[in-house]
């Protein structure tokens, strides 16, 4: 093979390699664009909280539950029923209530003399051999989450569980009673959950 033919062969190989590399790069770029579509910001998004039906929710006509002993306040929709059972207050949505299961949308309870919140939450599960709350979350199929959470500037905790129906349990430290917590359990799937949480106050 002459030097001229050798040079042409080498140049041809380089050109083919560049074309092949460019094709691979293009395919990868297209896949990334499909898997990661660009995110755009909507500067005109309204500040009002809306529910799943895109209705603006006005909480001014909601009823207020207040507990002076623990310094706790929250609002709940007008028309909801309240009943006391098992040392807790049950809030029932009449539009989403089934007598057969007796499900409620929300419960409020109060815990006193709590030295360790994690141990208190873990108590009913210890008989099954769980040693820590994190062991419980990892191994129990119907326990979804235990974590810190901030609710309207309040440092709280969330413990989420449920087999037939999932509930998020929020634990807020009372500012009036030492070693006491307010337990607010709210149906995970209820469309007003976040709006109800936004009305919680401690004083």
pLDDT tens digit string along 115-143? Answer: 999 999 999 999 999 999 999 999 988 89
Give me the pLDDT at residue 20, please.
Answer: 63
Query: What's domain 63-202's architecture?
Result: 3-Layer(aba) Sandwich (3.40)
Cα dihedral sign, 84-88-89-94: negative
Give me the pLDDT at residue 28, please.
Answer: 46
Q: Write down the residue that tokens 């359990």 correspond to.
A: 185
Cα dihedral sign, 194-77-91-172: positive
Section 175-184 average pLDDT: 96
DSSP 154: E
Q: How many CB atoms lie within 10 A of CB 51?
A: 13
* pLDDT at 98 > cutoff 60: no
**Per-residue 3-state assignment (H helix, E strand, C coil) for 88-153:** EEEEECHHHCCCCCCCCCEEEEEECCCCCHHHHHHHHHHHHCCCCHHHHHHHCCCEEEEEEEEECC
Q: Which sequence spans correspond to the domains of the chain?
A: 1-38, 63-202
Name the token pair of 111: 């815990």
pLDDT, one tens digit per residue, over 16-75 is 666 766 655 554 444 344 343 343 334 443 333 333 443 577 888 899 999 999 999 999
Q: Are 166 and 151 in contact (CB under 8 A)?
A: no
Burial of 141 (C-beta count, 10 Å sphere; 0-12/13-18/19+):
exposed
Give me the pLDDT at residue 137, please.
Answer: 92
Burial of 198 (C-beta count, 10 Å sphere; 0-12/13-18/19+):
middle
Percent of the chain whose predicted confidence (pLDDT) is above 90: 47
């Amino acid at each position: 093979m002459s030097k001229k033919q050798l040079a042409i062969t080498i140049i041809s190989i380089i050109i083919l390699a560049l074309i092949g590399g460019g094709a691979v790069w293009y395919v990868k770029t297209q896949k990334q664009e499909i898997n990661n579509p660009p995110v755009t910001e909507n500067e005109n998004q309204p500040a009002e909280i809306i529910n799943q039906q895109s209705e603006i929710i006005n909480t001014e006509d909601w009823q207020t539950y207040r507990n002076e002993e623990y310094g706790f306040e929250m609002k709940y929709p007008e028309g909801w029923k309240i009943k006391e059972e098992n040392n807790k207050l049950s809030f029932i949505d009449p539009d989403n209530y089934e007598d057969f299961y007796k499900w409620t949308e929300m419960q409020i309870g109060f815990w006193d003399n709590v030295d360790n919140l994690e141990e208190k939450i873990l108590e009913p599960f210890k008989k099954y051999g769980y040693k820590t709350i994190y062991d419980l979350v990892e191994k129990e199929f119907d326990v979804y989450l235990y974590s810190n959470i901030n609710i309207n500037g309040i440092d709280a905790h969330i413990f989420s569980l449920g087999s037939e129906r999932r509930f998020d349990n929020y634990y807020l430290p009372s500012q009036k009673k030492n070693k006491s917590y307010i337990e607010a359990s709210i149906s995970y799937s209820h469309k007003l959950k976040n709006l109800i949480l936004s009305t919680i106050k401690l004083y």
